[in-house]
Structures are given as structure tokens and as C-alpha cells.
Amino acid sequence: MKTSFLNRREALQCLTGIATGATVLYGSSRSASAAIWYGEEHEAEQRGIKVEKLTDDISLLIGVGGNIAVLVGKEGVLQIDAGNPGTSPQQIAGLKQLTDKPVVTLVNTHWHGDHTGGNADMAKAGSRIFAHDNTRKRLSSEQFIEAFNSKVPASPEIALPILTFSSSLTLYHGGEELHLTHVPPAHTDTDIFIHFAKANVLHAGDLFFNGMYPFIDSSTKGWVGGMVGAADKILAVADDKTKIIPGHGELGTKEQFKQYRDMLATVHERITPLVKGGKSVEEVVAAKPLADLDDKWGKGFMKPDVFVKIVYGGIKKFGI
């Protein structure tokens, strides 16, 4: 039997500790193999959805999984990410506060279920889904998230992106120009970020957890060095006025994103030599190599010891 990357207590910390209350379960019918992401409680979903306007046309839908961006145009709505499974009614209620137009295009930032949970519902309602090549591949077959010891079943055909790309894509919608850019494996091997060039808004997906240690999914090739590389690509696009939407947490500034990038680089620099030096994961966790960072970054759902374990595992697989 495959053992979990985290012990049971740590997995439960992940499940119950998320500050935002975000929750991801794959599908409403939970089997023993149901994949569990960031929490078991649907707190935010019970509270409903929060709508935050960023510009006249661009808004955030918050509280049903990963942060969702919507762009309202004459031709309909373009939406980035689709929340947790089972949250389509809340998403629709949020959208209704902005427009009566339907969602005609959905973009997934990556394959995780708290960003693709509404795919099937939205496709049934007529949305076209766009994403990176690897997002379609990951969604098309069963996945295994080692950190949570959970299998993720393949998605139904209707939930799969119908247009995929390998490195970059430009979309025109509502008078806006959206640049979609893939990065080498970082949070997963499916990540893209999206820059709304005219409005200067950037959706970073789970390349950015604002103000907290991120989850990094080494089972689908994520690792901390890749997170640093992806952050540098985003910094090259952003300027001091860019509004940066994280996958989780509050809307960020470039300054906040830079601090987050520097934290990741420090984590990478500190833990790599310990892995290379042959220390076991238990020894590295016990050494508390991030003790001075924990106060600022370790109060989100990803607790410090769990984060160290995840970083260690990713570096061991991909960083040495």
C-alpha cells in the first residue's frame, strides 16, 4: 500500500487549517479514494460567494476554491478558473451581480480541482474551455496526490479543455488582450499565468499564495525551484501598478509578490544543501530551517513542518 507523504496528523492539519476555508473535494460523491485538497469543510461555500470589482469590467469571485476572475464583454463573460466541484450555483449567483450574459470562455490556470471543479457544468452551459496541454492530459486520466495520499479520478469528457496550447496564447475578449503564458514545472506541470494587458491585471493561479507558504504538488512535477523560476517570469511582466490575483489569498501588489518570490528563493537555497548533504526528511524538519520565516508565512493552511516536507520531497525529485 502506498503511504502518504504526510503523516495522518499533518494531513489533517492541511485539511482543517486553511485560513480561507477553501475546500476541494473531487465530486460530491466522496469515495475512499476521493482526492482531498485544502480542507474538508465547505465554510466559504456555505457563506456564499464574495464579488470584488477590480475594474469596470474585471471582477473577482472569492470563496468557492481558487480565486476566480471574470471579464465581462459585449460577447459574454470570460472566466478564469472554475472553483470547487459543486459550486456552480454560487458562481452563477456571483456573476448575476455583474451581468446577465453567459460565460462563453473559461480558462483553467492548472489542473487542480479547486480551479477546475466547475468545468463540466460550465461546458454543459455552453462555455469553451482553454488550458495548457498538460491540464487536459492530467484531467483526462487518474492522478495521485502523494501529499494527501489521494487518488483523483479522471474527469468526464465534457469537463476537458477543447483548446490547449504549449507555450503561450493570446485571447481577445471584451476589448481586452489576454496573454496566457505557460511556465516550466512549478506548482504543477500544468501552470499558466494570464495577463490582462490593457487593464494590467495578472492572474497567477497557484503560482502565488499571497502571504503564506504555498502548496506545491510534486506528484505532478511541482517543486520550489520551479516556483522561483515562475515567479521571476511573472515579475518580468508585472509593474508597480499591476494587480496580481493569487490562486489563494487576497489580491496582491507587485511588492507583495516580490516578497513572496524572495521567500521561495530563500527556502530553495536553505533546503537544497540539506537534501544534497543526505539529511533525511525527519532531520530537516527537526532542524527547523525556516524558523525565522514561519511567523510571516506559516500561518496559512500550509503549516511550517508540512511545507518543509513538501519542499524537501520536490527538491529530492527534481532539484538535485
Residues that bind Zn ion (CB under 5 A): 112, 206
Look at the block and give the residue holding cell 460530491. Answer: 28
Q: Which of 70, 14, 69, 4 is nearest to 212 (CA)?
A: 14
Using DSSP's 3-state secondary structure scheme, residue 303 falls into coil
Beta-bridge partners for 69 = 60, 80
Cα–Cα distance, 285 to 279 (Å, whole number): 10
Q: In whole angstroms, how close is the CB of 110 to Zn ion at the nearest point?
A: 6
Residues 6+ apart with CB under 8 A from 307: 213, 267, 290, 298
Closer to Zn ion by CB, 122 or 186: give it: 186
Closer to Zn ion by CB, 267 or 275: give it: 267
Q: In whole angstroms, how close is the CB of 214 to Zn ion at the nearest point?
A: 9
Q: In whole angstroms, how close is the CB of 94 to Zn ion at the nearest point?
A: 21
Closer to Zn ion by CB, 148 or 274: give it: 148
Closer to Zn ion by CB, 112 or 254: give it: 112
Q: In whole angstroms, how close is the CB of 187 to Zn ion at the nearest point?
A: 6
Closer to Zn ion by CB, 146 or 206: give it: 206
Q: Which residues of 255-294 are buried (b: 16+ CB within 10 A; e: fewer)?
A: ebbebbbebbbebbebbbebbeeebebeebbeeebbeebb
Q: In whole angstroms, how close is the CB of 46 to Zn ion at the nearest point?
A: 22
Q: In whole angstroms, how close is the CB of 95 to Zn ion at the nearest point?
A: 22
Q: Retrieve residue 121's grid coordinates.
A: 457544468
Closer to Zn ion by CB, 188 or 242: give it: 188
Query: With contact defined as beta carbons under 8 Å apart, do 203 and 71 qualify?
Result: no
Q: Which of 77, 75, 80, 142 is nearest to 109 (CA)?
A: 80
Closer to Zn ion by CB, 66 or 76: give it: 66
Sign of the Cα pseudo-torsion (82, 84, 88, 93, in order): negative
Cα–Cα distance, 186 to 207 (Å, whole number): 7
Q: Which of 203, 212, 206, 167 is nearest to 187 (CA)?
A: 206
Q: In whole angstroms, how close is the CB of 12 to Zn ion at the nearest point?
A: 19
Closer to Zn ion by CB, 174 or 300: give it: 300
Q: In whole angstroms, how close is the CB of 116 to Zn ion at the nearest point?
A: 10
Using DSSP's 3-state secondary structure scheme, residue 14 falls into helix
